[in-house]
Structure 1
Amino acid sequence: MADISLDQLAAEITRVVREYTEDVSEAVEKKVGEVADKVLAEVAVSAPKRTGGYAQGFKVTKQDSGGKARRVIWNKKDYRRVHLLEFGHAKRNGGRVQAIPHLRPAYDKHADGLTDDIKRIIQNGGGT
């Protein structure tokens, strides 16, 4: 048997755990980015297109902090209009405007399997 000191063993374990953590973090961040891009593409297709400007205004913003991979999909030009179209709203002289859901259905369609994919990434040590 090879003689190895306790300090060398601890350093090797630390190095392997750090490498595993970095691999998993990179793979999770990549997967979250892919899902965000799919949701963005779906929103651009399903958003209301009276003039086309509203659908083109959607962007993905990266908000990673504290080891959390987070992407926010929002409308850069018409951010005040999104909830009105998504959920409907009251008309000025009474009645309601029909809702046109486009953001939530796209999220539900593409983000459902994300937790399973992340679990698989963690089990495989950063591989898919």
Structure 2
Amino acid sequence: MANIPIDRLADELVQAIKEYTEDVENVVRKKTDEVARKVLKEAQVLAPKRTGEYAKTFTITKEDGYGIARRIIWNKKHYRRVHLLEFGHAKANGEGRVKEYPHLRPAYDKHGARLPDELKRVIENGG
């Protein structure tokens, strides 16, 4: 460790914390992107395939801000249909229900559930 004059100690501490924060932030964004891509691929595989168009139109939207790395996986063209397929719905004539095809929640549960543990490890290790 270098010898630091007492009048420069505060500046050195601020610089060290800034570097740590930037390193952790970059790794958190990379991990979040990685998990989002895995969830997207899994959702496309699990999605109902009558023509295949529905699965192809899933996409990832990034919402980044200070201290925020959010990825939203949604269907760009058939966004109104997703919850109907995911959870099922009542038939138009009111007699019975249409079968559900869970595809987003299982994909998230498989890949997204491990993300908090991975991020905790990254933060503890400093990037």
TM-score by length of 2: 0.94
Shift, 1:67, TM fit: 1.2
In the alignment, does 2:65 pair up with 1:37? no
Cα 1:9/1:52, change in 2 over 3 Å: same
CA distance in 1, matches of 2:114, 2:4: 47
In the alignment, does 2:60 pair up with 1:60? yes
**Structure 1 partner of 2:117:** 116
Shift, 1:36, TM fit: 0.2
Q: What SS is found at the alignment partner of 1:70? A: strand
CA distance in 2, matches of 1:96, 1:51: 22
**Structure 1 partner of 2:108:** 107
Cα 1:71/1:92, change in 2 over 3 Å: same
CA distance in 1, matches of 2:70, 2:105: 17
AA matched with 1:125: G
Q: Which has the higher strand share?
A: 2
Q: What SS is found at the alignment partner of 1:112? A: helix
CA distance in 1, matches of 2:20, 2:107: 32
Q: What SS is found at the alignment partner of 2:64? A: coil
Moved over 2 A (4+): none
Cα 1:75/1:24, change in 2 over 3 Å: same
- Identity over the aligned pairs, expressed in percent? 62
Gaps of 5+ in 2: none
CA distance in 1, matches of 2:107, 2:61: 17
Query: What is the RMSD of the two structures over their aligned residues, measured on CA atoms?
Result: 1.0
TM-score by length of 1: 0.94
Shift, 1:112, TM fit: 1.2
